[in-house]
Amino acid sequence: MLWTPGGPGLPVLLSLLLQNGPVQLGPGGSLTKREVTIQKNMSVIYLDAPVGAGYSFTDNPAGYATQMENITKDIKDFLKQFLDVFYEYKKRDFYAGGDSYAARYSVALAYEMLQGQSEVDLKFQGVIGGVGFLAPILDLADSSDFLLQTSMLNREGYVKFKGTFEYMRNLT
């Protein structure tokens, strides 16, 4: 499994130590073994992505991704290089995972792998998104119908309020 951190910009080390790694920070900064961890079932690669997030960097300004396609390409390039070095992982089951905004990277990578647009030698199995900020949360947050029915919004306010949520949905 590949895990990328949310943020944006947070180091994946925080995911490893505070969320789902095999060890966790204990009282006073000590490390303790985590009883419930995903590593009991699979190997996990923790990757600072996109370039510039966490501890990843580049000396070339052109190396920073500006679009989802760039991020996905960089992740695929990383996976190909990883498999060249650690060839024993080729053809294994693979999950793409990320939390918060990084859940989008996982979905984009999954789409390319399922469409056969990826040259990564892994068997894609699924996506794991932790607290992914995706469009469904906007459906839950849109209370325009409730506000109209309880007379907290008039018709004009309802149209404006509903339109704002529709605009936000289209941005995601």
- pLDDT tens digits for 3-56? 998 766 788 888 888 888 898 887 788 898 888 888 888 899 999 988 888 899
Are 106 and 160 contained in the same domain? no
Are 82 and 153 contained in the same domain? no
Are 51 and 120 contained in the same domain? yes
137-162: burial string, b at 16+ Cβ within 10 Å, e else: ebeeebebeebbeeeebeeeebeebb
Are 98 and 111 contained in the same domain? yes
Are 48 and 124 contained in the same domain? yes
Are 127 and 163 contained in the same domain? no
Provide the number of structural domains found in the chain: 2
Range of the domain at 148: 137-171
Q: Is the pLDDT of residue 68 over 70?
A: yes
Average pLDDT over residues 165-169: 76
Are 69 and 19 contained in the same domain? yes
Are 127 and 143 contained in the same domain? no
Are 94 and 40 contained in the same domain? yes
The CA-based angle 30-33-38, given to 5 degrees, is 130
Are 62 and 29 contained in the same domain? yes
**What are the pLDDT digits (tens) for 107-116?**
889 988 888 7
The residues, ordered by sequence, that sit 6+ positions from 154 with a Cβ below 8 Å of its Cβ are none
**Signed CA dihedral, 135, 141, 146, 147: sign only:** negative
Are 113 and 77 contained in the same domain? yes
Q: Say which amino acid occupies 66.
A: T
CATH number at residue 64: 3.40.50.1820
Q: Distance from CA of residue 20 to its chain's centroid? A: 14
